[in-house]
Structure 1
Protein backbone atom coordinates (compact mmCIF):
# COMPACT_ATOMS: atom_id res chain seq x y z
CA UNK A 1 0.00 0.00 0.00
CA UNK A 2 2.81 2.40 0.92
CA UNK A 3 4.60 1.63 -2.35
CA UNK A 4 1.42 2.31 -4.33
CA UNK A 5 0.90 5.61 -2.50
CA UNK A 6 4.48 6.70 -3.23
CA UNK A 7 4.05 5.82 -6.91
CA UNK A 8 0.98 8.03 -7.10
CA UNK A 9 2.87 10.91 -5.47
CA UNK A 10 5.75 10.53 -7.93
CA UNK A 11 3.32 10.47 -10.86
CA UNK A 12 1.63 13.64 -9.64
CA UNK A 13 5.01 15.34 -9.21
CA UNK A 14 6.03 14.42 -12.75
CA UNK A 15 2.73 15.59 -14.25
CA UNK A 16 2.73 18.93 -12.47
CA UNK A 17 6.48 19.41 -12.88
CA UNK A 18 6.43 18.87 -16.65
CA UNK A 19 3.25 20.88 -17.03
CA UNK A 20 5.19 23.95 -15.95
CA UNK A 21 2.79 26.34 -14.19
CA UNK A 22 -0.54 24.84 -15.22
CA UNK A 23 -2.14 24.58 -11.83
CA UNK A 24 -5.75 23.90 -12.82
CA UNK A 25 -6.90 22.98 -9.33
CA UNK A 26 -10.59 23.92 -9.03
CA UNK A 27 -11.61 26.84 -6.86
CA UNK A 28 -15.36 26.68 -7.31
CA UNK A 29 -16.05 29.16 -4.52
CA UNK A 30 -13.65 31.78 -5.85
CA UNK A 31 -14.93 34.74 -7.79
CA UNK A 32 -11.58 36.48 -8.03
CA UNK A 33 -11.66 36.45 -11.86
CA UNK A 34 -14.66 38.78 -11.70
CA UNK A 35 -13.08 41.39 -9.45
CA UNK A 36 -14.03 44.79 -10.87
CA UNK A 37 -11.36 47.24 -11.89
CA UNK A 38 -10.64 49.77 -9.17
CA UNK A 39 -12.01 53.22 -9.67
CA UNK A 40 -8.50 54.66 -9.81
CA UNK A 41 -7.66 52.36 -12.73
CA UNK A 42 -10.79 53.36 -14.66
CA UNK A 43 -10.03 57.03 -14.01
CA UNK A 44 -6.42 56.61 -15.18
CA UNK A 45 -7.60 54.96 -18.39
CA UNK A 46 -10.03 57.78 -19.03
CA UNK A 47 -7.33 60.39 -18.37
CA UNK A 48 -5.10 58.89 -21.07
CA UNK A 49 -7.93 58.80 -23.60
CA UNK A 50 -8.72 55.09 -23.26
CA UNK A 51 -11.29 52.89 -21.53
CA UNK A 52 -11.54 49.41 -19.97
CA UNK A 53 -13.10 48.02 -23.15
CA UNK A 54 -10.41 49.37 -25.48
CA UNK A 55 -7.87 47.06 -27.13
CA UNK A 56 -4.76 46.21 -25.15
CA UNK A 57 -1.30 44.76 -25.70
CA UNK A 58 1.24 43.26 -23.29
CA UNK A 59 5.04 43.38 -23.50
CA UNK A 60 7.42 41.41 -21.28
CA UNK A 61 11.14 42.07 -20.83
CA UNK A 62 13.07 39.35 -19.04
CA UNK A 63 16.27 41.19 -18.15
CA UNK A 64 14.42 44.25 -16.88
CA UNK A 65 11.85 41.96 -15.17
CA UNK A 66 8.87 44.07 -16.17
CA UNK A 67 5.48 43.49 -17.80
CA UNK A 68 3.92 46.42 -19.64
CA UNK A 69 0.22 46.87 -20.37
CA UNK A 70 -0.53 49.15 -23.33
CA UNK A 71 -4.01 50.42 -24.20
CA UNK A 72 -5.41 51.87 -27.42
CA UNK A 73 -6.41 55.49 -27.06
CA UNK A 74 -9.03 57.54 -28.87
CA UNK A 75 -6.23 58.81 -31.13
CA UNK A 76 -5.91 55.27 -32.53
CA UNK A 77 -2.44 54.49 -31.19
CA UNK A 78 -1.42 52.46 -28.17
CA UNK A 79 -0.07 54.16 -25.08
CA UNK A 80 1.72 52.65 -22.09
CA UNK A 81 -0.80 52.37 -19.29
CA UNK A 82 1.13 50.64 -16.52
CA UNK A 83 4.33 48.72 -15.80
CA UNK A 84 4.26 45.76 -13.42
CA UNK A 85 7.28 44.16 -11.80
CA UNK A 86 7.75 40.48 -12.65
CA UNK A 87 8.14 38.67 -9.37
CA UNK A 88 9.96 35.66 -10.83
CA UNK A 89 10.74 33.84 -14.06
CA UNK A 90 12.83 30.73 -14.54
CA UNK A 91 15.75 30.02 -16.83
CA UNK A 92 18.12 32.38 -18.62
CA UNK A 93 17.88 34.84 -21.48
CA UNK A 94 16.78 32.94 -24.56
CA UNK A 95 13.65 31.14 -25.81
CA UNK A 96 12.10 27.97 -24.48
CA UNK A 97 13.30 24.96 -26.46
CA UNK A 98 11.85 21.80 -24.94
CA UNK A 99 9.52 20.51 -22.27
CA UNK A 100 11.19 20.41 -18.88
CA UNK A 101 14.04 22.87 -19.62
CA UNK A 102 12.41 25.38 -17.24
CA UNK A 103 12.96 28.18 -19.74
CA UNK A 104 10.39 30.94 -20.12
CA UNK A 105 9.27 31.56 -23.73
CA UNK A 106 10.18 34.49 -25.98
CA UNK A 107 8.46 35.68 -29.16
CA UNK A 108 5.04 36.86 -30.32
CA UNK A 109 1.82 35.27 -29.08
CA UNK A 110 -1.93 35.87 -29.49
CA UNK A 111 -4.02 35.63 -26.32
CA UNK A 112 -7.69 34.72 -26.74
CA UNK A 113 -10.40 34.31 -24.07
CA UNK A 114 -9.86 30.55 -24.21
CA UNK A 115 -6.33 31.01 -22.85
CA UNK A 116 -7.55 32.78 -19.72
CA UNK A 117 -7.48 30.60 -16.59
CA UNK A 118 -9.87 31.87 -13.90
CA UNK A 119 -9.34 28.78 -11.71
CA UNK A 120 -5.57 28.74 -11.66
CA UNK A 121 -3.83 27.26 -8.65
CA UNK A 122 -1.58 30.35 -8.93
CA UNK A 123 -4.34 32.83 -8.03
CA UNK A 124 -5.18 33.85 -11.63
CA UNK A 125 -3.40 33.20 -14.92
CA UNK A 126 -3.46 33.36 -18.68
CA UNK A 127 -1.65 30.95 -21.00
CA UNK A 128 1.04 32.48 -23.23
CA UNK A 129 -0.04 30.27 -26.13
CA UNK A 130 3.33 28.51 -26.30
CA UNK A 131 4.15 26.74 -28.57
CA UNK A 132 3.01 29.09 -31.31
CA UNK A 133 3.44 28.67 -35.06
CA UNK A 134 7.11 29.65 -34.93
CA UNK A 135 7.86 27.38 -31.98
CA UNK A 136 6.20 24.39 -33.63
CA UNK A 137 8.06 24.71 -36.93
CA UNK A 138 11.30 24.68 -34.93
CA UNK A 139 10.25 21.60 -32.99
CA UNK A 140 10.03 23.40 -29.66
CA UNK A 141 7.92 21.71 -27.02
CA UNK A 142 6.32 22.75 -23.75
CA UNK A 143 2.91 23.15 -22.16
CA UNK A 144 1.03 25.30 -19.67
CA UNK A 145 3.45 28.25 -19.92
CA UNK A 146 1.58 30.95 -18.04
CA UNK A 147 1.61 34.49 -16.77
CA UNK A 148 0.24 34.01 -13.26
CA UNK A 149 0.34 35.09 -9.63
CA UNK A 150 1.84 33.42 -6.56
CA UNK A 151 5.42 34.65 -7.24
CA UNK A 152 6.72 31.16 -8.14
CA UNK A 153 7.89 30.01 -11.57
CA UNK A 154 8.75 26.81 -13.47
CA UNK A 155 9.05 28.22 -16.96
CA UNK A 156 6.35 30.86 -16.45
CA UNK A 157 6.20 34.57 -15.65
CA UNK A 158 5.05 35.03 -12.07
CA UNK A 159 3.48 38.26 -10.84
CA UNK A 160 2.24 39.25 -7.45
CA UNK A 161 -1.38 38.27 -6.80
CA UNK A 162 -2.39 41.93 -6.83
CA UNK A 163 -0.60 42.47 -10.12
CA UNK A 164 -2.11 39.50 -11.96
CA UNK A 165 -5.57 40.38 -10.59
CA UNK A 166 -5.38 43.80 -12.25
CA UNK A 167 -3.85 42.49 -15.50
CA UNK A 168 -6.50 39.75 -15.68
CA UNK A 169 -9.29 42.29 -15.13
CA UNK A 170 -7.88 44.57 -17.84
CA UNK A 171 -7.83 41.64 -20.29
CA UNK A 172 -11.34 40.57 -19.30
CA UNK A 173 -12.74 44.06 -19.86
CA UNK A 174 -10.91 44.33 -23.19
CA UNK A 175 -12.59 41.12 -24.36
CA UNK A 176 -15.94 42.44 -23.15
CA UNK A 177 -15.32 45.53 -25.24
CA UNK A 178 -15.44 43.42 -28.39
CA UNK A 179 -11.74 42.60 -28.87
CA UNK A 180 -11.22 38.96 -29.78
CA UNK A 181 -7.60 38.82 -28.62
CA UNK A 182 -4.61 40.80 -27.43
CA UNK A 183 -0.99 40.50 -28.48
CA UNK A 184 1.72 39.30 -26.09
CA UNK A 185 5.28 40.25 -27.02
CA UNK A 186 8.09 38.64 -24.99
CA UNK A 187 11.67 39.87 -25.34
CA UNK A 188 14.91 38.96 -23.54
CA UNK A 189 15.61 42.67 -22.96
CA UNK A 190 14.92 46.09 -24.47
CA UNK A 191 16.05 45.51 -28.06
CA UNK A 192 18.67 48.25 -28.24
CA UNK A 193 22.02 48.02 -30.06
CA UNK A 194 23.83 48.28 -26.73
CA UNK A 195 21.96 45.32 -25.23
CA UNK A 196 22.44 43.26 -28.39
CA UNK A 197 26.17 44.05 -28.40
CA UNK A 198 26.45 42.72 -24.84
CA UNK A 199 24.96 39.42 -26.08
CA UNK A 200 26.91 39.26 -29.36
CA UNK A 201 28.27 35.77 -28.62
CA UNK A 202 24.88 34.30 -27.70
CA UNK A 203 23.61 31.41 -29.85
CA UNK A 204 20.21 33.16 -29.81
CA UNK A 205 21.42 36.34 -31.52
CA UNK A 206 19.87 35.49 -34.92
CA UNK A 207 16.51 34.76 -33.26
CA UNK A 208 16.64 38.01 -31.32
CA UNK A 209 17.39 39.97 -34.48
CA UNK A 210 14.37 38.28 -36.07
CA UNK A 211 11.94 39.39 -33.34
CA UNK A 212 13.61 42.81 -33.11
CA UNK A 213 11.79 43.85 -36.30
CA UNK A 214 8.46 43.45 -34.52
CA UNK A 215 9.84 45.43 -31.58
CA UNK A 216 10.99 48.21 -33.92
CA UNK A 217 7.66 48.36 -35.73
CA UNK A 218 5.78 48.87 -32.49
CA UNK A 219 8.29 51.47 -31.30
CA UNK A 220 7.72 53.43 -34.52
CA UNK A 221 3.97 53.03 -35.03
CA UNK A 222 2.66 52.36 -31.53
CA UNK A 223 0.40 49.71 -33.03
CA UNK A 224 0.96 45.97 -32.59
CA UNK A 225 2.34 44.54 -35.86
CA UNK A 226 0.56 41.60 -37.45
CA UNK A 227 2.91 38.64 -37.13
CA UNK A 228 3.13 35.39 -39.06
CA UNK A 229 5.74 32.75 -39.87
CA UNK A 230 7.30 31.77 -43.21
CA UNK A 231 10.69 30.36 -44.15
CA UNK A 232 10.93 29.32 -40.46
CA UNK A 233 11.13 32.91 -39.30
CA UNK A 234 8.84 35.67 -38.09
CA UNK A 235 7.45 38.04 -40.69
CA UNK A 236 5.53 41.20 -39.84
CA UNK A 237 2.66 43.00 -41.59
CA UNK A 238 2.82 40.57 -44.50
CA UNK A 239 -0.13 39.63 -46.68
CA UNK A 240 -1.61 36.24 -45.95
CA UNK A 241 -3.95 36.86 -43.02
CA UNK A 242 -2.16 34.41 -40.73
CA UNK A 243 -2.28 31.44 -43.08
CA UNK A 244 1.28 31.51 -44.40
CA UNK A 245 3.11 28.22 -44.67
CA UNK A 246 5.77 28.34 -41.92
CA UNK A 247 8.08 26.31 -44.18
CA UNK A 248 7.12 28.10 -47.40
CA UNK A 249 8.46 31.18 -49.10
CA UNK A 250 7.67 34.57 -47.61
CA UNK A 251 5.52 36.97 -49.64
CA UNK A 252 6.85 40.42 -50.58
CA UNK A 253 6.65 42.82 -47.66
CA UNK A 254 6.66 46.59 -47.96
CA UNK A 255 8.89 48.07 -45.28
CA UNK A 256 8.49 51.71 -44.36
CA UNK A 257 11.31 54.19 -44.83
CA UNK A 258 11.26 54.85 -41.09
CA UNK A 259 11.79 51.16 -40.31
CA UNK A 260 14.63 50.85 -42.84
CA UNK A 261 16.30 53.96 -41.43
CA UNK A 262 15.97 52.72 -37.85
CA UNK A 263 17.41 49.31 -38.69
CA UNK A 264 20.36 50.88 -40.53
CA UNK A 265 21.04 53.21 -37.61
CA UNK A 266 20.82 50.33 -35.14
CA UNK A 267 23.16 48.16 -37.23
CA UNK A 268 25.72 50.97 -37.30
CA UNK A 269 25.35 51.48 -33.55
CA UNK A 270 25.69 47.72 -32.98
CA UNK A 271 28.84 47.61 -35.12
CA UNK A 272 30.27 50.60 -33.22
CA UNK A 273 29.47 48.96 -29.86
CA UNK A 274 31.14 45.72 -30.94
CA UNK A 275 34.20 47.60 -32.21
CA UNK A 276 34.43 49.54 -28.94
CA UNK A 277 34.14 46.31 -26.97
CA UNK A 278 36.88 44.74 -29.10
CA UNK A 279 39.15 47.75 -28.54
CA UNK A 280 38.51 47.56 -24.82
CA UNK A 281 39.40 43.86 -24.81
CA UNK A 282 42.63 44.51 -26.72
CA UNK A 283 43.55 47.43 -24.44
CA UNK A 284 42.86 45.38 -21.31
CA UNK A 285 45.00 42.53 -22.66
CA UNK A 286 47.84 44.95 -23.48
CA UNK A 287 47.59 46.55 -20.04
CA UNK A 288 47.69 43.14 -18.41
CA UNK A 289 50.76 42.20 -20.47
CA UNK A 290 52.51 45.49 -19.56
CA UNK A 291 51.68 45.00 -15.89
CA UNK A 292 53.11 41.49 -15.99
CA UNK A 293 56.29 42.80 -17.65
CA UNK A 294 56.68 45.61 -15.10
CA UNK A 295 56.08 43.22 -12.20
CA UNK A 296 58.65 40.84 -13.66
CA UNK A 297 61.22 43.63 -14.01
CA UNK A 298 60.61 44.87 -10.46
CA UNK A 299 60.85 41.36 -9.02
CA UNK A 300 64.09 40.81 -10.94
CA UNK A 301 65.57 44.07 -9.68
CA UNK A 302 64.65 43.27 -6.10
CA UNK A 303 66.16 39.81 -6.40
CA UNK A 304 69.41 41.24 -7.84
CA UNK A 305 69.53 43.94 -5.15
CA UNK A 306 69.27 41.54 -2.25
CA UNK A 307 71.56 39.11 -4.00
CA UNK A 308 74.20 41.87 -4.24
CA UNK A 309 73.80 42.73 -0.58
CA UNK A 310 74.26 39.10 0.24
CA UNK A 311 77.58 39.07 -1.65
CA UNK A 312 78.68 42.25 0.12
CA UNK A 313 78.20 40.70 3.52
CA UNK A 314 79.61 37.34 2.57
CA UNK A 315 76.40 35.79 1.60
CA UNK A 316 77.15 35.43 -2.08
CA UNK A 317 79.37 32.35 -1.74
CA UNK A 318 78.23 28.87 -0.82
CA UNK A 319 79.76 28.02 2.53
CA UNK A 320 80.07 24.46 3.83
CA UNK A 321 79.20 24.16 7.48
CA UNK A 322 82.11 23.24 9.76
CA UNK A 323 79.86 21.30 12.07
CA UNK A 324 77.83 18.56 10.54
CA UNK A 325 75.41 18.25 13.39
CA UNK A 326 76.28 14.57 13.82
CA UNK A 327 77.31 13.20 17.26
CA UNK A 328 81.06 13.34 17.80
CA UNK A 329 82.81 9.93 17.99
CA UNK A 330 83.83 8.64 21.44
CA UNK A 331 87.60 9.25 21.89
CA UNK A 332 89.80 6.16 22.15
CA UNK A 333 92.30 5.62 24.97
CA UNK A 334 95.79 6.94 24.24
CA UNK A 335 98.33 4.26 23.49
CA UNK A 336 101.50 4.15 25.45
CA UNK A 337 104.42 4.27 23.17
Structure 2
Protein backbone atom coordinates (compact mmCIF):
# COMPACT_ATOMS: atom_id res chain seq x y z
CA UNK A 1 0.00 0.00 0.00
CA UNK A 2 2.83 2.40 0.88
CA UNK A 3 4.62 1.65 -2.41
CA UNK A 4 1.41 2.30 -4.36
CA UNK A 5 0.92 5.61 -2.56
CA UNK A 6 4.50 6.70 -3.27
CA UNK A 7 4.14 5.79 -6.96
CA UNK A 8 0.90 7.75 -7.20
CA UNK A 9 2.50 10.75 -5.50
CA UNK A 10 5.47 10.61 -7.88
CA UNK A 11 3.38 10.36 -11.03
CA UNK A 12 0.91 13.04 -10.02
CA UNK A 13 3.69 15.39 -9.02
CA UNK A 14 6.15 14.70 -11.82
CA UNK A 15 5.13 17.67 -13.97
CA UNK A 16 6.01 21.33 -14.34
CA UNK A 17 5.31 23.83 -11.59
CA UNK A 18 1.63 23.24 -11.11
CA UNK A 19 -0.88 25.87 -12.14
CA UNK A 20 -4.36 26.22 -10.70
CA UNK A 21 -5.61 24.67 -13.94
CA UNK A 22 -3.54 21.51 -13.46
CA UNK A 23 -4.43 21.29 -9.79
CA UNK A 24 -8.10 21.43 -10.74
CA UNK A 25 -7.69 18.77 -13.44
CA UNK A 26 -6.04 16.39 -10.98
CA UNK A 27 -9.15 16.43 -8.80
CA UNK A 28 -10.87 14.19 -11.34
CA UNK A 29 -10.55 10.41 -11.23
CA UNK A 30 -10.14 9.96 -14.99
CA UNK A 31 -7.31 12.47 -15.16
CA UNK A 32 -5.49 10.89 -12.23
CA UNK A 33 -5.94 7.45 -13.78
CA UNK A 34 -4.62 8.72 -17.13
CA UNK A 35 -1.55 10.18 -15.42
CA UNK A 36 -0.79 6.88 -13.70
CA UNK A 37 -1.36 4.83 -16.84
CA UNK A 38 0.04 7.07 -19.57
CA UNK A 39 2.50 9.63 -18.19
CA UNK A 40 5.56 7.45 -18.71
CA UNK A 41 4.44 6.58 -22.24
CA UNK A 42 4.06 10.18 -23.37
CA UNK A 43 7.27 11.25 -21.63
CA UNK A 44 9.17 8.53 -23.49
CA UNK A 45 7.71 9.76 -26.78
CA UNK A 46 8.73 13.30 -25.93
CA UNK A 47 12.23 12.30 -24.82
CA UNK A 48 12.80 10.43 -28.08
CA UNK A 49 12.15 13.73 -29.86
CA UNK A 50 14.30 15.83 -27.53
CA UNK A 51 11.30 17.31 -25.71
CA UNK A 52 10.17 17.50 -22.08
CA UNK A 53 6.73 17.37 -20.48
CA UNK A 54 7.45 20.51 -18.44
CA UNK A 55 8.50 22.60 -21.46
CA UNK A 56 5.95 21.80 -24.14
CA UNK A 57 3.89 23.48 -26.85
CA UNK A 58 1.63 21.49 -29.18
CA UNK A 59 -0.13 21.57 -32.53
CA UNK A 60 -2.73 18.94 -33.47
CA UNK A 61 -3.24 18.29 -37.21
CA UNK A 62 -6.20 16.15 -38.31
CA UNK A 63 -7.04 14.68 -41.71
CA UNK A 64 -10.61 13.60 -42.29
CA UNK A 65 -10.18 11.41 -45.38
CA UNK A 66 -7.46 9.10 -44.05
CA UNK A 67 -8.63 9.39 -40.44
CA UNK A 68 -5.38 10.50 -38.82
CA UNK A 69 -4.48 12.98 -36.10
CA UNK A 70 -0.85 14.07 -35.89
CA UNK A 71 0.70 15.53 -32.74
CA UNK A 72 3.49 18.08 -33.17
CA UNK A 73 5.54 19.44 -30.29
CA UNK A 74 8.29 21.91 -29.49
CA UNK A 75 9.94 23.53 -26.49
CA UNK A 76 8.29 26.75 -25.34
CA UNK A 77 11.31 28.83 -26.39
CA UNK A 78 11.54 27.29 -29.86
CA UNK A 79 9.60 28.24 -32.99
CA UNK A 80 9.79 25.03 -35.02
CA UNK A 81 7.63 21.98 -34.31
CA UNK A 82 8.45 18.33 -34.91
CA UNK A 83 6.02 15.43 -35.26
CA UNK A 84 5.75 13.34 -32.09
CA UNK A 85 3.16 10.75 -33.06
CA UNK A 86 0.20 9.87 -35.28
CA UNK A 87 -3.11 8.58 -33.92
CA UNK A 88 -5.99 6.91 -35.73
CA UNK A 89 -9.34 8.71 -35.77
CA UNK A 90 -11.78 5.86 -35.22
CA UNK A 91 -14.92 7.13 -36.96
CA UNK A 92 -16.23 9.94 -39.13
CA UNK A 93 -19.67 11.30 -39.87
CA UNK A 94 -20.74 13.41 -42.81
CA UNK A 95 -18.55 13.84 -45.88
CA UNK A 96 -15.58 15.88 -47.03
CA UNK A 97 -16.18 19.60 -46.81
CA UNK A 98 -16.61 22.11 -43.97
CA UNK A 99 -19.34 22.26 -41.36
CA UNK A 100 -21.77 25.06 -42.17
CA UNK A 101 -24.88 24.41 -40.07
CA UNK A 102 -26.30 22.67 -37.04
CA UNK A 103 -27.33 19.08 -37.70
CA UNK A 104 -25.37 18.53 -40.92
CA UNK A 105 -23.27 15.77 -39.26
CA UNK A 106 -20.12 17.41 -40.64
CA UNK A 107 -16.74 17.56 -38.97
CA UNK A 108 -15.38 21.11 -39.39
CA UNK A 109 -12.46 21.98 -41.64
CA UNK A 110 -10.27 24.94 -40.81
CA UNK A 111 -7.93 26.53 -38.29
CA UNK A 112 -9.02 26.09 -34.68
CA UNK A 113 -7.72 25.82 -31.14
CA UNK A 114 -8.65 23.91 -28.00
CA UNK A 115 -10.99 25.95 -25.81
CA UNK A 116 -12.42 23.29 -23.47
CA UNK A 117 -10.94 20.55 -21.28
CA UNK A 118 -13.63 18.16 -20.06
CA UNK A 119 -12.46 15.54 -17.52
CA UNK A 120 -15.98 14.15 -17.02
CA UNK A 121 -17.05 13.78 -20.65
CA UNK A 122 -19.62 11.16 -21.60
CA UNK A 123 -16.88 10.09 -24.02
CA UNK A 124 -14.36 9.56 -21.20
CA UNK A 125 -12.17 12.67 -21.70
CA UNK A 126 -12.61 15.38 -24.30
CA UNK A 127 -10.91 18.44 -25.77
CA UNK A 128 -13.29 21.00 -27.27
CA UNK A 129 -12.37 23.12 -30.28
CA UNK A 130 -13.60 26.65 -30.97
CA UNK A 131 -16.03 25.82 -33.75
CA UNK A 132 -17.63 27.94 -35.12
CA UNK A 133 -14.67 30.27 -35.54
CA UNK A 134 -14.65 33.66 -37.24
CA UNK A 135 -14.18 32.14 -40.70
CA UNK A 136 -17.06 29.70 -40.19
CA UNK A 137 -19.41 32.48 -39.12
CA UNK A 138 -18.59 34.58 -42.18
CA UNK A 139 -18.80 31.66 -44.62
CA UNK A 140 -22.15 30.32 -43.40
CA UNK A 141 -25.55 31.80 -44.23
CA UNK A 142 -27.26 29.75 -41.52
CA UNK A 143 -28.49 31.19 -38.22
CA UNK A 144 -27.56 28.04 -36.30
CA UNK A 145 -24.07 26.76 -37.04
CA UNK A 146 -23.97 24.08 -34.35
CA UNK A 147 -21.15 23.50 -31.90
CA UNK A 148 -19.83 21.06 -29.30
CA UNK A 149 -17.07 19.68 -31.52
CA UNK A 150 -14.55 17.64 -29.56
CA UNK A 151 -11.54 15.39 -29.78
CA UNK A 152 -12.81 12.66 -27.46
CA UNK A 153 -12.77 9.03 -26.40
CA UNK A 154 -15.03 6.24 -27.66
CA UNK A 155 -15.24 5.18 -31.31
CA UNK A 156 -18.51 6.81 -32.37
CA UNK A 157 -19.19 10.37 -33.42
CA UNK A 158 -21.50 12.98 -34.89
CA UNK A 159 -19.06 15.54 -36.27
CA UNK A 160 -16.27 15.05 -33.73
CA UNK A 161 -12.92 13.24 -33.71
CA UNK A 162 -13.22 9.99 -31.67
CA UNK A 163 -9.88 8.50 -30.62
CA UNK A 164 -10.94 5.61 -28.28
CA UNK A 165 -10.90 5.87 -24.50
CA UNK A 166 -7.35 4.52 -24.44
CA UNK A 167 -5.76 7.02 -26.82
CA UNK A 168 -7.65 10.08 -25.59
CA UNK A 169 -5.81 9.60 -22.29
CA UNK A 170 -2.52 10.31 -24.05
CA UNK A 171 -3.86 13.24 -26.06
CA UNK A 172 -5.52 14.73 -22.99
CA UNK A 173 -2.29 14.49 -20.99
CA UNK A 174 -0.31 16.15 -23.77
CA UNK A 175 -2.86 18.97 -23.87
CA UNK A 176 -3.21 19.66 -20.14
CA UNK A 177 0.56 19.71 -19.76
CA UNK A 178 1.01 22.12 -22.66
CA UNK A 179 -1.59 24.39 -21.07
CA UNK A 180 0.13 24.00 -17.71
CA UNK A 181 3.36 25.08 -19.45
CA UNK A 182 1.70 28.31 -20.59
CA UNK A 183 0.19 27.52 -24.00
CA UNK A 184 -3.22 29.16 -23.73
CA UNK A 185 -4.45 28.21 -27.21
CA UNK A 186 -3.36 24.82 -28.54
CA UNK A 187 -3.87 24.91 -32.34
CA UNK A 188 -5.99 22.26 -34.04
CA UNK A 189 -5.76 22.28 -37.83
CA UNK A 190 -8.44 20.14 -39.47
CA UNK A 191 -7.86 19.41 -43.15
CA UNK A 192 -10.07 17.35 -45.49
CA UNK A 193 -7.05 15.30 -46.61
CA UNK A 194 -3.27 15.59 -46.77
CA UNK A 195 -3.19 18.57 -49.09
CA UNK A 196 -0.07 17.81 -51.09
CA UNK A 197 -0.05 19.12 -54.66
CA UNK A 198 -0.83 15.65 -56.02
CA UNK A 199 -3.75 15.07 -53.63
CA UNK A 200 -5.13 18.55 -54.17
CA UNK A 201 -5.13 18.12 -57.95
CA UNK A 202 -6.92 14.77 -57.61
CA UNK A 203 -9.62 16.18 -55.31
CA UNK A 204 -9.92 19.33 -57.43
CA UNK A 205 -10.75 17.11 -60.40
CA UNK A 206 -13.08 14.88 -58.38
CA UNK A 207 -15.05 17.88 -57.04
CA UNK A 208 -14.89 19.98 -60.21
CA UNK A 209 -18.68 20.37 -60.11
CA UNK A 210 -18.39 22.15 -56.73
CA UNK A 211 -16.22 25.23 -57.39
CA UNK A 212 -17.13 26.81 -54.04
CA UNK A 213 -15.72 23.81 -52.17
CA UNK A 214 -12.60 23.72 -54.36
CA UNK A 215 -12.05 27.44 -53.69
CA UNK A 216 -12.37 26.83 -49.94
CA UNK A 217 -9.86 23.99 -50.10
CA UNK A 218 -7.51 26.11 -52.22
CA UNK A 219 -7.50 28.72 -49.46
CA UNK A 220 -6.97 26.07 -46.77
CA UNK A 221 -4.11 24.53 -48.76
CA UNK A 222 -2.10 27.73 -48.35
CA UNK A 223 -2.13 27.15 -44.59
CA UNK A 224 -1.36 23.46 -45.01
CA UNK A 225 1.65 24.19 -47.23
CA UNK A 226 2.93 26.87 -44.88
CA UNK A 227 2.77 24.65 -41.81
CA UNK A 228 4.30 21.65 -43.57
CA UNK A 229 7.13 23.76 -44.99
CA UNK A 230 7.91 25.89 -41.92
CA UNK A 231 6.64 23.66 -39.08
CA UNK A 232 5.62 26.83 -37.24
CA UNK A 233 2.29 27.80 -35.71
CA UNK A 234 0.16 29.51 -38.34
CA UNK A 235 -0.34 33.25 -38.06
CA UNK A 236 -3.40 34.43 -39.95
CA UNK A 237 -6.29 36.85 -40.22
CA UNK A 238 -9.78 36.31 -41.63
CA UNK A 239 -11.10 38.63 -44.32
CA UNK A 240 -14.68 39.87 -44.68
CA UNK A 241 -15.57 36.88 -46.88
CA UNK A 242 -14.31 34.36 -44.33
CA UNK A 243 -11.10 33.48 -46.16
CA UNK A 244 -7.91 32.86 -44.21
CA UNK A 245 -5.00 35.20 -44.91
CA UNK A 246 -1.86 33.31 -43.90
Fold shared, TM-score > 0.5 on shorter chain: yes
- Post-superposition Cα deviations, 1:144-168, rounded to whole Å, max 9, x if no partner, equal 1111111111111111111111101
Counterpart of 1:110 in structure 2 is: 113
- The aligned counterpart of 2:226 is 217
The alignment status of 1:179 with 2:183, answered yes or no, reads yes
Q: Is it true that 1:83 corresponds to 2:92 in the alignment?
A: no
Q: Deviations 1:84-120 (Å, cap 9, x if unpaired)?
A: 00001111111111100101100000223xx111111
Q: Which structure has the highest strand share of the two? A: 2
Larger radius of gyration between Structure 1 and Structure 2:
1
- 5 Å-filtered alignment, 1:101-140, equals 101-112=104-115, 115-139=116-140
Q: Can you list the C-alpha shifts for 1:182-238, whole angstroms capped at 9, x where unaligned?
A: 1000000000122222222152110011011111111111111112201321012xx
Aligned partners of 1:108 and 1:227 also within 8 Å: no
Correspondence 1:235 to 2:245: yes
Tell me: higher relative CO, structure 1 or 2? Use CA pairs within 8 A at least 6 residues apart: 2
- The Cα of 1:39 is off from its aligned counterpart by 1.3
Rate the CA distance shift 1:71–1:111 in 2: closer, same or farther, 3 A.
same
> TM-score, normalising length from structure 1?
0.58
How many residue pairs are counted as aligned between the two chains?
206
Q: Is the 2:62–2:191 Cα contact (8 Å) retained in structure 1? A: yes
Partner Cα distance (1:45, 1:202) in 2: 44
Distance in structure 2 (CA, Å) of the matches to 1:156 and 1:40: 25
- Tell me how far 1:31 sits from its aligned partner: 1.4
Distance in 2 (alpha carbons) for counterparts of 1:42 and 1:62: 27
> Which residue matches 2:192?
188
| Residue of structure 2 in register with 1:241 after alignment | none
Pair 1:226-2:230 in alignment: no
Q: What is the alpha-carbon distance in structure 1 between the residues aligned to residue 209 and residue 226 of structure 2?
A: 24
Mapping for residues 126-165 of structure 1, pairs under 5 Å: 126-139=127-140, 141-165=145-169
Question: Structure 1: which 5+ residue stretches go unaligned?
Answer: 1-28, 237-337
Rounded to whole Å, the distance in 1 between the matches of 2:109 and 2:79 is: 27
- 57-66 vs 36-45, greater mean Cα deviation: 36-45
